[in-house]
Chain A
């Protein structure tokens, strides 16, 4: 799960980590009060207005504006709040900005990068820093990987003091700033572990002209599997930032991801679902979605799956590919028959059922009066559905 910058900064603050502070608003009517509050509470006379969306690259897209005065801040809030922000992570359609953060502007001397995430191949968390702050870290990793310094965290031991000192030294920090960095890095790891984060990224982490270390931006993602341990974090979810069809699907325990093709897919199991998308592409079509109906597929899941797939107007045909293990194909067949009757489908449906009770299922489909294109193999199914989609 992702959260906004202002929410991430709130969590950092709770762990005693210095942040670029501010006030977040959703309504233009709150703008003046927000600027006044930032002025009063943080002594700011200059401001930074930052769009709050779940995507990187906000600055380049025009969603972050320095404002040298109260008037400029007000002007920038008007510009950003309600704009459709397009960044390299939002896609061409962009994202509507519904919240902006009015932040204190800081005098920056140096910018760094700091992040914690899981190193899957080592099976350990890794704390990374780089002197190349503010840049896209993927770019740094590609062009000058030696500039990213890593400390692996031994499971159960946390980020040790010597490791934090190594990281601070790698950034060339000395004296007061080094001391602040050691404390901050250890608190950051504590937050990461205690809240079951999947990534904590501070980019940039800055040293101000006054010599203080401050998190200027903050990105935190959480492990979805662990949200049951953190109800207060789960509440931070912003459904406005997610695809409505994906949110709807999750209500029915369906795993749906919208793509931009024309062939809708309904499959059991993530690996088979991905492969189904792949084979559609290989035979000349394009998948409209990823949809895993999971291990407990029944009449209801099939119906809901159909509704969600067909909510996408680009879908020209649907492929159902079920390999019955625990799931019985005859039950799936009944679900398909019921759904087709009930939902008044106007696109061709290709069905391929294999595994448990597949023969019974095929008979059920053949005997029913619903119009379904039956397929025998994986390949046959893909060819038939792509053909049907091209109509």
Chain B
């Protein structure tokens, strides 16, 4: 088991004919052999990835013809909101949007729309999902991860890789790794994923990597207090970040006292999470928690 994606996922890539899209779609196909097509409006009937997969004009067509149930989006910012809505309207079960730079107001509306459909949406501005050995839906380097029982939820990209690297160095593999994105509005929260990992029999512990800004880590921690039985190891990046300054991610900005790293870590600890102080101690801490 794992969560969200596995070897049976049928993945399509929206924006597969673009340079980013084709590069990463190739990597995903090599990793899990489960990319079944792509979507680029106006290029239906062609093939992509050196003839390996068909290109469709719409998500609806891709779902009907190749049974796509996961869509990975690399469409540029001006068209990305529309691409997400198209996938949701077509009944794609899981939508993962990598695109960085989508206007926030558009994401507010997209999120409200997706909630009216049955789709789950991850991102935007995220590295995607990796279920080691089975499926890669995004841009995480597959070779750094290995199969195991630690679930990883993160707002960041390379910091996730760092955490996975540390886990592997301790001999700990991962069930599924998810980068949820660093934007102010994202489709799936830490809390949503924590619930899924709790229900996944393969997952024994969850690493939750947050950062300054917003209240998502707090909501997850408060829920975990009474409802999550598995150990949750939490880290918050940005303890040295000055208030009011956006640290790269649009969402990584301390705009109130309770959005600072110190405040979040304090509350996480109060809720019974195992809080990691140094980003170099993530692997060691999980190892100790699992003993």
Interface residues of A (CB under 8 A from B): 89, 118, 120-121, 123-125, 138, 141-142, 154-156, 193, 196, 198, 223-226, 228-229, 255, 257, 259, 267-282, 286-287, 290, 292, 295, 323-326, 354-356, 377-379, 382
Contact = CB atoms under 8 A, between A and B. Distances in A.
Given A259-B242, A273-B248, A325-B141, A120 B103 contact: no
B278 A292 contact: no
Contacts, number: 169
* Nearest 6 interchain pairs by C-beta: A271-B156, A270-B248, A269-B158, A271-B159, A226-B103, A275-B279
B165 to A, nearest CB: 6
Nearest to A121: B215
Interface of B: 77-78, 101-106, 108-109, 111-112, 127, 139-141, 143-144, 154-162, 165, 182, 184-185, 209, 211-212, 214-216, 219, 235, 237-242, 244-245, 247-252, 256-257, 261, 277-280
A323 B162 contact: yes
B161 A118 contact: no
A222 B219 CA distance: 27
Contacts of B256: 138, 141
A118 to B, nearest CB: 6
A125 B77 CA distance: 21
Contacts of B158: 267-269, 271-272, 323, 325
Given A118-B185, A269-B158, A290 B279 contact: no
Given A277-B238, A278-B237, 5 more contacts: A123-B111, A142-B257, A271-B160, A274-B237, A287-B240
A10 B280 CA distance: 50
B58 to A, nearest CB: 23
A377 B283 CA distance: 12
Contacts of A118: 104, 108, 184-185
A379 B241 contact: no
12 contacts: A138-B256, A223-B104, A225-B77, A257-B247, A271-B252, A272-B162, A274-B211, A278-B278, A279-B278, A325-B141, A325-B144, A325-B161
Given A255-B248, A275-B159, A324-B141, A228 B77 contact: yes
A257 B184 CA distance: 20
A290 B141 contact: no
B252 A270 contact: yes
Q: Is the interface of A mostly helix, strand, loop or mixed?
A: mixed
A267 B280 CA distance: 15
Nearest to B252: A270
B111 A271 contact: no
A290 B157 contact: no
A268 B248 CA distance: 11
Given A123-B112, A272-B162, A277 B278 contact: no
Nearest to B166: A378
A267 B112 CA distance: 35
Contacts of A123: 108, 111-112, 185
Contacts of A259: 240, 242
Contact of A269 (B106, B157, B212, B240): B157
Contacts of A272: 156-159, 162, 237
A271 B215 contact: no
**Which of A272, A280, A287 neighbours the largest number of chain B CB atoms within 10 Å of its CB?**
A272
A290 B248 contact: yes
Nearest to A193: B105
A384 B266 CA distance: 29
Given A225-B101, A277-B240, A278-B239, A270 B249 contact: yes
Given A156-B112, A324-B141, A326-B141, A196 B103 contact: yes
Contacts of A89: 244
A125 B108 contact: yes
Contact of A196 (B105, B238, B261): B105
Contacts of B245: 257
**Which of B159, B165, B245 neighbours the largest number of chain A CB atoms within 10 Å of its CB?**
B159
B122 to A, nearest CB: 15
Contacts of B139: 295, 325-326
Contacts of A287: 240
A378 B159 contact: no
Contacts of B108: 118, 123-125, 155
Nearest to B161: A323
Contacts of A142: 257
A225 B248 contact: no
B252 A355 contact: no
A223 B278 contact: no
B96 to A, nearest CB: 16
Nearest to A327: B158
Contact of B162 (A193, A255, A292, A378): A378
Contacts of A379: 278, 280
